[in-house]
Structure 1
Amino acid sequence: MNQKLIKNGFILAALMNFSVLIFSRGFTNVAINEADPVVMSNFGLLMIIMWGLAYLSVATVSSNIKWIAGAFALEKLIYGVVWVKWLTENSLEAVYSADIFAGIFYSIYGLNDFLFMIFFAWVFFSYGVKATDNH
């Protein structure tokens, strides 16, 4: 297993989550909040940053990350599904009209989550089942 690739993948995942600070303009971009007040409230955006801190904390761990990677894959799956549901019920054009940063954010956040879901799932399945996983 390529530990450098895994480390860099976790760091990149963290950086992508931290980018919410740019898109939200430091939690002042109300267009993001208004487009999805439940998931993307300022509390929700803060939790995205907290997930980024979790990814960063795992980046330097070289063993026993199978199950945390699995949890991260599920978390990304949930955000990705929520994004697809949001796209089917809302207008990206309206969000772009309200704010370009919010429009870009809503255009890419789910794709980002699906890509990192695949990465985290790959890490999870790459570790295989070990005798220590059975207790």
Structure 2
Amino acid sequence: MKIKSKTITYGFIAAGTMNIGGVLIFSRFFTNSTIPEFDPVVLSSFGLLMILVWGLAYLSVAKDFAKAKWLIAVFSIERFIYGFVWTKWLMNNDLSAVYAEDTMAGIFYTIYGANDWLFFLIFSYVFSRLMLKKNESNN
């Protein structure tokens, strides 16, 4: 299966928009204290700000992703780490306790890692495609 470049561009835009919009909406523009309360290391106010910055990085390469092959690899690794940390968090914490304190924070904790795993797969696909394209042009 080959995905068109225009579709991949939309994928980068979606990733950036989800990071930026997700953080701003669910954190209520950084005023929701419940999100950092349940994971003060990864999802501190600073951590949420950095997620927003990653979103800006995805947007910055959306149209020229083919020129940023190794950066796409970094994006894939970053998404893997966040997905892994979320999975580990779910295994060691009670999601219902987050919902009991704040529904928006509960929704955030429910979806943020699934989003990371999805974009890990997408970014990995894009990186693989770019690597294959380079190998084909060298032959």
Identity over aligned pairs, percent: 56
Confirm or deny: 8 A CA contact 2:77 2:120 kept in the other structure.
yes
Any unmatched runs of 5+ in structure 1? none
Given that 1:92 and 1:106 are in contact with CA atoms closer than 8 Å, whether structure 2 keeps it comes out as: yes
Query: Which string of whole-angstrom CA distances, capped at 9 and with x for unpartnered residues, describes residues 35-74 of structure 1?
Result: 1001000000000000000000001215322211111000
Tell me if 1:104 matches 2:104. no
- Equivalent position to 1:29, from 28, 32, 38: 32
Instruction: Provide the aligned C-alpha RMSD in A.
Output: 1.5
Say which of 79, 97, 104 aligns to 2:82: 79
Aligned to 1:55: 58
In structure 1, C-alpha distance between the alignment counterparts of 2:34 and 2:65, rounded to whole Å: 40
Q: Secondary structure at the match of 1:63?
A: helix
Tell me the secondary structure at the aligned position of residue 115 of structure 1.
helix
Does residue 16 (structure 1) correspond to residue 18 (structure 2)? The answer is yes
Structure 2 residue ranges without an equivalent (≥5): none
Partner of 2:127: 124
Give TM-score, length-normalised by structure 2: 0.90
The one-letter code matched in structure 1 to 2:13 is I
Q: Distance in 1 between matches of 2:68 and 2:126?
A: 8
Q: Separation in 2 of the partners of 1:128 and 1:60? A: 18
Classify the secondary structure of the residue corresponding to 1:46.
Answer: helix
Tell me if structure 2 keeps the 8 A contact 1:66–1:125. no
- Give the TM-score normalised by the residue count of structure 1: 0.93
Is the contact made by 1:66 and 1:124 (CA closer than 8 Å) also made in structure 2?
A: yes
**How many residues are matched?**
132
